[in-house]
Amino acid sequence: MNDLRFIASPWWVNLLIFVPLLVFLWFRNNLLMISKKHLFIAALFGMAFGFVEASVAVYLRAAAGFLPGFMGRLSHLTQKIPSFYQPGQILNHLPQTLLTVEVEREAATIIMLASLALLTAKKFRDRCAIFLWVFAAWDISYYLSLWLTIGWPDSLTNPDVLFLIPVPWYAPVWFPILVSSLTMIAIALCAPKRRKGVFL
């Protein structure tokens, strides 16, 4: 049992792999009351917000001295980052004040995504679907934005700190991208076909 290895840490983060299946099972028999148009617009919000989050992460790490060459050209930065940028090491060297800001930023992110879900849908299950949909779009966009701006991750196997609340979550980059992608597919499969009177 001591040799048991998990993809993510702490161990319970690995349970997120079941989220897409649970979402599909929950929504499949009683289709969501969310139009494809609402899902598209919510995804745009999530992707744009993912870029904003990635930008904030870049600025914070640059301010803390973890991005050498940040004051130069972006092309120079992307050449240096993959070998230098190790998100897991940042937690050990980030000042407590900035770490507190990171935790508060994550909490604010969840509040923003939940607020969007509350404004977009009327029923609890539809609100949950919108929250998960936007969260997934945001998560995918976050990693894509980091890769496009600073060249990290240079591999989907790069380890990352996924979240800090209530404790740091660690996993390779492919894990949150897979969970988010499958969650979006599950929700899209449960969205209703075009019928009158079913959209919000």
User: pTM for the complete prediction?
Assistant: 0.82
Task: Give the residue from 173, 175, 183 showing the smallest Cα distance to 131.
Answer: 183
Q: Give the pLDDT band of residue 62 (cuts 50, 70, 90).
A: confident
Beta bridge partners of 172: 159
List Cβ neighbours of 22 (8 Å cut-off, separation of 6 or more): none
Geometric angle at alpha carbon 124, from 123 and 128, rounded to 5°: 120
Beta bridge partners of 163: 169
Distance CA 53, CA 130 (A): 19
Question: Where are the domains positioned within the chain?
Answer: 33-190
Tokens in use for 159?
Answer: 């380890």
Query: What's the rounded mean pLDDT across residues 65-92?
Result: 55
Distance CA 130, CA 119 (A): 10
Q: Give the pLDDT band of residue 125 (cuts 50, 70, 90).
A: very high
Q: Give the pLDDT band of residue 191 (cuts 50, 70, 90).
A: confident
- 23 residue type, one letter: V
Could you tell me which residue, 13 or 76, shows the higher pLDDT? Answer: 13
Average pLDDT, the chain: 82
Length of the chain equals 200
Distance CA 34, CA 200 (A): 6
Q: How many Cα atoms occupy the beta-carbon half-sphere of 176 within 13 Å?
A: 25
Q: How many Cα atoms occupy the beta-carbon half-sphere of 38 within 13 Å?
A: 25
36-51 residue pLDDT tens:
888 999 999 999 999 9
Q: Is 95 a residue whose pLDDT tops 50? A: yes
Tokens in use for 114?
Answer: 């939940």
Q: Which residue has the tokens 């600025």?
A: 59
Residue ranges of alpha helices (H) inside the chain are 19-27, 36-63, 74-84, 87-93, 96-120, 124-150, 174-190
